[in-house]
């Protein structure tokens, strides 16, 4: 849905503008996000050159139209979940920004340390090969950047603990987009081109996250200079020094910084559950299998 800030902007090619008539924009958005509509679009997708939809097929899409009061009630219920997810996104951004700003300030006049002295950087392996399609998510760069989706690979292979990631772990894609991310989903398998970053004894995770991020711009510049199809850094780049707060500052900061890290993680985990609840309720509400009043009770328990 277009926010007020984008009013008057031009629209690029390959983007269809839908102007609601006789129905709210909120209802149209819910319908287009539903599994039934996604299945319909998948069935009429033209993949000859690149995946595209024909405008005529979009116009032929069947829009469910229960009574207006029911539509409003459904959008209100789902909207409550969406609003909470939006709040959590802001909480995560604020907690991480405050944490990084605090550590940056505390590092002024501090010491330097090689990244490799702060943590072990365990490289993933090619776990997508011969994947079974069931079991745990195989975390690739795509999952770090865009989350779990239709192209996500699953594998029920047994792997050593170093190649597993759990909620709160730090992952660093050293190739391609060079992404640093806190993993907040369920236990998963770390694929190649991604380091699982394991802090050394006495080094808090928030400090290691800060240290990796301070080098990210330089690492991306190194990767951009590689004359390969996918830019990357090498192991020796992890030996480069990074600024860190003095030991006494780390001890003083630890409680607050760990709290901020955990608060952001909790918000991410909660949003994951809220999204699942939303995706489960939406088709049931649209089909009438679950009354709105029952859905409201469910939402009240999680929001």
Record the pTM.
Answer: 0.89
Q: To the nearest whole percent, how much of the chain has pLDDT over 90?
A: 80
Q: Residue 92's Cα: distance from chain center in Å?
A: 12
Indicate if the pLDDT at residue 31 is higher than 80: yes
Half-sphere exposure of 272 (CA within 13 A, CB side): 14
Closest-CA residue to 65 (of 33, 32, 31, 39): 31
Q: What is the pLDDT of residue 49?
A: 80
pLDDT for 7-24, tens place per residue? Answer: 999 999 888 899 999 899
Contacts of 77 (CB under 8 A, 6+ apart): 281, 285, 292, 295, 296, 299
Indicate if the pLDDT at residue 226 is higher than 70: no
Indicate if the pLDDT at residue 228 is higher than 70: no
* Mean pLDDT within 187-195: 97
- In terms of average pLDDT, the best of 54-68, 260-274, 287-301 is 260-274
Instruction: Please provide the distance, in angstroms rounded to a whole number, between the alpha carbons at the two ends of the chain.
Output: 23
* Mean pLDDT within 292-297: 94
Indicate if the pLDDT at residue 165 is higher than 70: yes
Say if strands 136-139 and 188-190 run parallel, antiparallel, or are unpaired.
Answer: parallel
Neighbours of 88 (CB within 10 A): 19
Q: What is the pLDDT of residue 302?
A: 86
Q: What is the pLDDT of residue 46?
A: 87
């Amino acid at each position: 849905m277009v926010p007020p800030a984008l009013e008057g902007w031009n629209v690029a090619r390959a983007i269809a503008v839908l102007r609601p008539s006789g129905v709210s924009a909120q209802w149209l958005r819910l319908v287009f996000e539903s599994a039934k509509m996604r299945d319909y679009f998948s069935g009429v997708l033209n993949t000859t050159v690149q995946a595209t939809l024909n405008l005529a097929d979009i116009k032929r899409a069947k829009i469910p139209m229960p009574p207006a009061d029911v539509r409003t009630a459904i959008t209100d219920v789902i909207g409550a979940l969406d609003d909470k997810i939006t709040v959590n996104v802001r909480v995560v951004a604020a907690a991480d920004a405050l944490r990084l700003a605090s550590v940056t300030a505390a590092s002024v006049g501090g010491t330097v340390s090689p990244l490799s002295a702060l943590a072990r950087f365990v490289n993933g392996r090619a776990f997508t090969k011969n994947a079974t399609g069931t079991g745990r998510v195989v975390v690739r760069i795509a999952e770090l950047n865009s989350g779990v989706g239709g192209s996500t690979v699953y594998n029920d292979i047994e792997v050593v603990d170093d190649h597993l990631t759990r909620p709160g772990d730090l992952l660093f894609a050293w190739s391609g987009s060079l992404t640093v991310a806190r993993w907040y989903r369920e236990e998963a398998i770390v694929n190649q081109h991604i380091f699982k970053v394991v802090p050394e004894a006495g080094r808090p995770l928030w400090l290691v996250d800060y240290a990796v991020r301070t080098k990210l711009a330089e690492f991306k510049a190194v990767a951009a200079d590689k004359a390969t199809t996918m830019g990357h850094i090498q192991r020796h780049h992890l030996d480069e020094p990074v600024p860190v707060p003095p030991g006494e500052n780390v001890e003083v900061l630890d409680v607050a910084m760990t709290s901020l890290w955990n608060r952001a993680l909790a918000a991410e985990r909660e949003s994951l559950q809220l999204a699942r609840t939303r995706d489960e309720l939406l088709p049931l509400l649209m089909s009438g299998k679950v009354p709105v009043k029952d859905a409201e009770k469910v939402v009240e328990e999680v929001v």
